[in-house]
A = this chain, B = another copy of it.
């Protein structure tokens, strides 16, 4: 099922949402290991089968749609620090970028409503995908 929405784009359909105490980008930590809270990934019931093998303690890569980011920003001062030179966004982890996909490395802590440690995403952020961290080639 190759599926193009239009000549120039593809349609992402969120599979869940983040539930977090973080509601304000200005006060959110810039990365998950900088004091981010435990949060919940609340998945739609339609993807229950995709989730069923997640284990407590698994290291996951979480992909989100940063729905409060700007898409027209191509260069930023890293970490909002005006003393640092303006840098192309593809060399930064700025949320503001042409396709604002968030990539978060988290630790799974529970079932269909997945508790995760150290997540800097804001409350209500759409979830796009979850992937396992790849271990050594012989563990795949």
- Stoichiometry, as copies per complex, reads 2
In contact, B58 and A1 (Cβ under 8 angstroms):
no
Interface size class of A (residues with CB under 8 A): 35 or more
In contact, A49 and B71 (Cβ under 8 angstroms):
no
A78-114 CB mask vs B (1 if < 8 Å, else 0) is 1100000001111111000111010100000000000
In contact, A49 and B78 (Cβ under 8 angstroms):
no
Give Cα A9 to B53, complex, Å: 26
26 A-B pairs with CB atoms under 8 Å apart are A1-B70, A8-B13, A8-B14, A9-B12, A9-B13, A10-B65, A11-B11, A11-B12, A13-B98, A13-B99, A15-B98, A31-B137, A47-B74, A49-B75, A50-B74, A50-B89, A50-B97, A51-B88, A53-B87, A54-B91, A91-B132, A93-B134, A97-B129, A98-B129, A101-B101, A101-B128
